[in-house]
Amino acid sequence: MKFADQTILVTGASRGIGAAIAQAFAAEGALVVVNYLRSEAAAMEVVKSCEALGGSAIAIRADVTSAEQVAAMMEQIANTTGRLDAVVNNAFAPYVFDTDNRQRFWETSWQGYQSQFDGAVGAAYNVCQAALPLMRSRTRGSIINLSSDLVARPSVPYHDYVTAKSALIGFSRSLAAELGPLGIRVNCVAPGLVYPTDASSATREDVRDFITAQTPLRRIAEPVDVAGPVMFLASEWSEFVTGQTLYVDGGLVMG
C-alpha cells in the first residue's frame, strides 16, 4: 500500500473534498488525521469510513485559524505517531458559490477579504509553522495547499475568495523555495467547481451545465476527482516536483 505507515493530516476533512482525500489516503494504508472544526459526528463517520477502507484514522478538533489550537493538534499528532509525512491544507473560510447572490466588488468589504485571507493563507501559515518541526526531523515531507482554478480563470468573480486563493499560491511558491533545501516540498492543487459540496450547493444547474460545456472532459469534478492529484503530490512519484500548481478541472484551465 502506497502510504502504509505514513501519517497524513487533512484539514477540514469532515465532509466534501477533505473527506474524499482522507478516505483515499486511508485506502492506501495511511494513518489519517481528520481535522474538523464543528462537525464532530461527521468527522467520526469519516474516521469509520477510513478504517473500513483498510487505513486508520483519528479525528482532532482544531480551528486552523488559531495558532494555539493548531499547535495543540500538532502536539497530539507527535504524541500519537511521532511523524508527519504530508499535510493537506483543505480547510477554508465558509463560502457559498452562488452566482445570483454573490457580492459584487463594490459590495465587498475589506473584512470580507480579510476573512478569506485568514481562512486560506492564515490557516495554511499556522499549520505549516506547526508541522515544520516534525517534517524537519525527518528531512522530508510534502505540503499540498488547495487553491482554485478561479485564480487563472475568474469566470465568476468571487472577489474575496479568488484573491485569497491567489495569495495562497504565492505563499506556497515562496515556501517551496525556502523549504526545498530541507527536503520538504510544497505544491498547490487548484480544482474547478466541485459538485456536490456544501460550498457548491447553491450553484444553479444551468451554471453547472455551462461550465460542463466549456470543459474538455465534459463534466464537473466530484470530490473524489481531487484526491488522486493530491495523493500524487504527496507520494514519492512527485519527489522532484515543488512550487507547482496543478489544475484539476477537466481542462478548463490549461497552462
Q: Residues 120-173: pLDDT tens digits?
A: 999 999 999 999 999 999 999 999 999 999 999 998 899 999 999 999 999 999
Q: Which helix (H) or strand (E) holds 26?
A: helix 16-27
Q: Which pLDDT score is estimated for 253?
A: 94
Q: Which pLDDT score is estimated for 155?
A: 87
Residues in the chain: 255
DSSP 88: E
Query: pLDDT band for position 21 (50/70/90)?
Result: very high
Global confidence as pTM: 0.95
What percent of the chain stands above pLDDT 70? Answer: 100
> What's the rounded mean pLDDT across residues 20-38?
97
- In this structure, the dihedral spanned by the alpha carbons of residues 157, 160, 165 and 171, taken in order and rounded to 10 degrees, is 140
Q: Which helix (H) or strand (E) holds 10?
A: strand 7-10
Q: Which pLDDT score is estimated for 1?
A: 63
By the 10 Å C-beta count (0-12 exposed, 13-18 middle, 19+ buried), 99 is classed as middle
What domains can you pick out in the chain, each with its CATH number? Answer: 7-248 (3.40.50.720)
State phi, psi for 163 to the nearest 5 degrees: -65, -40
Concerning whether 158 is annotated as a catalytic residue, the answer is no
Q: How many CB atoms lie within 10 A of CB 76?
A: 14
Of 36, 95, 161, 195, which is the active-site residue? Answer: 161
How far, in Å, CA of 1 to CA of 16, rounded? 24
How far, in Å, CA of 255 to CA of 252, rounded? 10
Rounded alpha-carbon distances, angstroms, from residue 165 to 82, 201, 209, 245: 31, 20, 24, 12
How far, in Å, CA of 130 to CA of 119, rounded? 16
> What's the rounded mean pLDDT across residues 199-219?
88
How does pLDDT run across 51-76, given as a tens digit for each residue?
999 999 999 999 999 999 999 999 99
Q: Omega before 157 cis (within 30°)?
A: no
